[in-house]
Amino acid sequence: MKTIGNQHYRGEIGRYYEDFEVGDIYEHRPGRTITESDNINFSLMTMNLHPMHCDSAYAAKSEFGRPLVNSGLTLAIVLGMTVPDVSGKAIANLGWKEISLTAPVFPGDTIYSKSEVLDKRESRSRPNAGIVTVKTTGIKADGTVFMSFERSALIQKRAGNIDENAGY
């Protein structure tokens, strides 16, 4: 929260490069309960027509006995959960790696996530930024880990940040 004037505050999203420390863990909240509608809409919108995501009769005959949530949707939601803590002040995402899907997610599951800072370093080409790498873990409400990935982002430093000039 930034003070604009006497009892006038502006909400902020994200952290500056200087705010990250290797080993810090951020538990991202709120969680998100994934609905059947979320799953079907995302699957069809992204042209993933696999019947495990949108055909309950087909999915009932599978080893899971019911539809699975599209893993692209769970990745998108978990990534989105991290933005207020990890990349809200990012200049750019630099990449993802080691994406692991370790357990199924079903419509009706509530998911949460957490991120651990693995590394940070000054940018060699941009003096106003640094690179932060985190490992993010997706966890269902029952404690089951269903996903993990590493992500690196180019994060603004405090000096010369673009937020100061935001015209809103």
Which amino acid appears at position 153 of this protein?
A
Which amino acid appears at position 94 of this protein?
L
Give the pLDDT confidence score for residue 2 in this predicted structure: 63
Is the model's pLDDT at 165 over the cut of 60? no
Mean pLDDT of the chain: 92
Reported as a pLDDT band with limits 50, 70 and 90, residue 160 is low
Report the pLDDT averaged over residues 106-131.
Answer: 96
* pLDDT > 70 in the chain, percent: 92
Report the pLDDT averaged over residues 51-72.
Answer: 96
Fold of the 14-161 domain = Thiol Ester Dehydrase; Chain A (3.10.129)
Give the pLDDT confidence score for residue 126 in this predicted structure: 92
What is the rounded distance in angstroms from the CA atom of residue 161 to the CA atom of residue 13? 13
What is the rounded distance in angstroms from the CA atom of residue 75 to the CA atom of residue 117? 19
- Look up the pTM and report it: 0.88
Report the pLDDT averaged over residues 64-73.
Answer: 97
